[in-house]
A = this chain, B = another copy of it.
Amino acid sequence: MTLNRSDTILKHIVEYFIKHAQPVGSQTLIDEYHLPYSSATIRNEMFALEKQGLIEKTHSSSGRVPSSQGYRYYCDHLRDKSVDNELKYSLQNILDEKIHSIEEVLKSSCEILSQMTSLVSVVMGPDEKEEQLANVQLVQISPNTITAVFVTNRGYVENKTFIIEKGINPSEIVSCVTLLNDRLKGTPIYQLVDKIKALKPVLNDYIVSHDLVYQALLETFLRFASDRLSLYGRDELFNNPEFKNDTDKLHRMFRLLNDNSLLKEMEEDVKSDSEEPIVKIGEVDGNPDVSTITAKVKLGSEGETSITLLGPTRMDYDKALSALEYLTEELNKYFAKLDDKGGKNGGDA
């Protein structure tokens, strides 16, 4: 595919700005990319591009900078879609290993992704609306402490150690565990609290300090996956020149990583039926300095989650999009293949 002149120039402007973080003028563009036009011609094209809202000036006699629309157009029509071989190689290395969990595959993938793109990778953890209880264990680890562990049908593990003032008879624990597993297995997490409330009278028959155990179970389940987002490569943000001498902007980005508006956006994105990655340019939580790219990952029979790349608006969209597209595609294949090998799709635990 060969681009017309206007598109070529826009492409160069975007790529120059992504690379140098400096507004770019007509002459610079010619020098950098050896364009066979005069600077006046470039200026005329730039004037047109600006009227279309694709590029902007920072002041009346400055060079041009891509606008959000410009980035968008670049992502949709101009980028090269070139996948880094190093990414392919690193990813294959991970997926070729014999044994690993979903969580670990996602973690390693994100680490590579962050490293290759210099962006922050975010992966969504389990949603309590999707998870079901697979197994509960109570482990007595000292005369007055018990650790409750529960595993969901997708392999997420949550635990809480609690202290009880009176000792508990080990046999009580065994029967308690049996009871809980019998009654609660397969229950969606968000219904657990209610179910446990219903179980309270039954517990009384099984265990002496039923009240404490009951309280502890309640708290354990209430706290399910309170930190739903895992972040990788957070410190990459420091390397962006737009934040040198502007700690406030940087601070705002870091805050975005901590509060849950990001989670909300990711949840929305994973619900959409778009198969393509969703690119948000300077519109994340109202912060014009931040862009995100979110893609779904299908975990085979285990549902789906999403991975987001987050960085400054001036991020390398081509690299990031290509990497994320490649990665999610490979992961989808990988998880699908695992399902095939494992026989029929997982029935309820």
Q: Which residues of chain A have a CB within 8 Å of any CB of chain B?
A: 98-104, 134-135, 137, 139-145, 147, 149, 151-155, 157, 159-165, 167, 212, 215-216, 219, 235, 238, 243-247, 250-251, 254-255, 258, 301-302, 338-339, 341-344, 346-347, 349
Contacts and interface: CB of A to CB of B under 8 A. Distances in A.
Contacts of A347: 142-143
19 contacts: A98-B212, A98-B215, A99-B212, A101-B145, A103-B161, A134-B147, A139-B151, A141-B153, A141-B349, A142-B302, A142-B347, A143-B347, A144-B341, A144-B342, A144-B346, A235-B254, A238-B254, A243-B247, A246-B247
Contacts of A104: 160
Q: Which of A102, A142, A247 has the most CB of B within 10 A?
A: A142
Contact of A349 (B140, B162, B349): B140
Nearest to A249: B247
B141 A134 contact: yes
Contact of A142 (B216, B243, B301): B301
A143 B343 contact: yes
A152 B144 contact: no
B137 A344 contact: no
A180 B302 CA distance: 28
Contact of A160 (B101, B139, B141, B215): B101
Nearest to A165: B341
A167 to B, nearest CB: 6
Nearest to A152: B141
A162 B342 contact: no
A299 to B, nearest CB: 11
A342 B101 contact: no
A145 B342 contact: yes
A97 to B, nearest CB: 9
Q: Which of A104, A134, A155 has the most CB of B within 10 A?
A: A155
A207 to B, nearest CB: 15
Given A143-B344, A167-B342, A341-B144, A162 B251 contact: no
Contacts of A141: 134-135, 151-155, 346, 349
Given A139-B151, A151-B147, A255-B235, A99 B219 contact: yes
A153 to B, nearest CB: 5
Nearest to A134: B141
Nearest to A101: B161
Nearest to A338: B163
Contact of A251 (B135, B235, B301): B235
B235 A258 contact: yes
A186 B70 CA distance: 63
A338 B144 CA distance: 8
Q: Which of A134, A161, A212 has the most CB of B within 10 A?
A: A161
